[in-house]
Structure 1
Amino acid sequence: MYAIIETGGKQYRVETGSLVQVESLPGEVGGTIELGQVRLVHGDKGVTVGQPLVKGATVKAEIINQGRTRSITIFKKQRRKNYRRTNGHRQGFTKLRITGIETA
């Protein structure tokens, strides 16, 4: 059984027991979270596609890690004007272990 969920503006294909790294979500490490934005469920009864969401379907997950990705460098420049700017960015993430997929 698998499901397609949406979180942080992105869609992820998840199965029970799988690990998935998503955009930062609130919660403590070791806590559980319930994801209700389920777009599709494939199970014993076949495929259920939402319009846009599957009614009554939820995905339960355990928070494994809260962290930040490696730093990227942003560099802006205008030639011949002595204009240079350097910035860095580290995006927050949450690593989840999917514990269950429930349908109504």
Structure 2
Amino acid sequence: MYAIIETGGKQFKVKVGDVLKIEKIDLEPGNEIMFDRVLLFQGNEGLKIGSPYIEGLKVKAEVIETAKDKKVVVYRPPSKKAIHKLKGHKQWYTKVKIKEIMGG
């Protein structure tokens, strides 16, 4: 049994027990979150496809932590002159654990 959910502009294939790194959500560790944007569900009865989302189907998850990811280095080589551009960026993320898929 699995589902495809949408959060933070991205889609994730999830099943019970999975741990995901998603875009930052302002919740403390230990809190629960419900994802109601379920695009697809595969269960015992077969495949359900939403248009765009499946009504009444939700995925419950628990927030594990919120932290910054590894640094992404952005380097732009010089075009004509010896000027180098080196920048870095650390993106915030929230790690969640899928508890159950409800309504399926």
Query: What is the TM-score normalised by the length of structure 1?
Result: 0.89
What corresponds to 1:7 in structure 2?
7
* CA-atom RMSD in angstroms: 1.5
Deviation at 1:17, TM superposition (A): 1.6
Return the alpha-carbon distance in structure 2 between the equivalents of residues 77 and 20 of structure 1: 34
Cα deviation code 1:16-36 (max 9, x no counterpart): 122111121221111111111
Structure 1 unaligned regions, length at least 5: none
Equivalent residue pairs, number: 104
Return the alpha-carbon distance in structure 1 between the equivalents of residues 58 and 9 of structure 2: 17
Return the alpha-carbon distance in structure 2 between the equivalents of residues 68 and 9 of structure 1: 19
What corresponds to 2:48 in structure 1?
48
What corresponds to 1:91 in structure 2?
91
What corresponds to 2:24 in structure 1?
24
Deviation at 1:80, TM superposition (A): 3.2
What corresponds to 1:71 in structure 2?
71
Flag the structure with higher strand content.
1
Q: Percent identity, please.
A: 36
Q: Which amino acid aligns with 2:34?
A: E
Structure 2 unaligned regions, length at least 5: none
Return the alpha-carbon distance in structure 2 between the equivalents of residues 91 and 5 of structure 1: 21
Deviation at 1:79, TM superposition (A): 3.2
Q: Which amino acid aligns with 2:24?
A: S
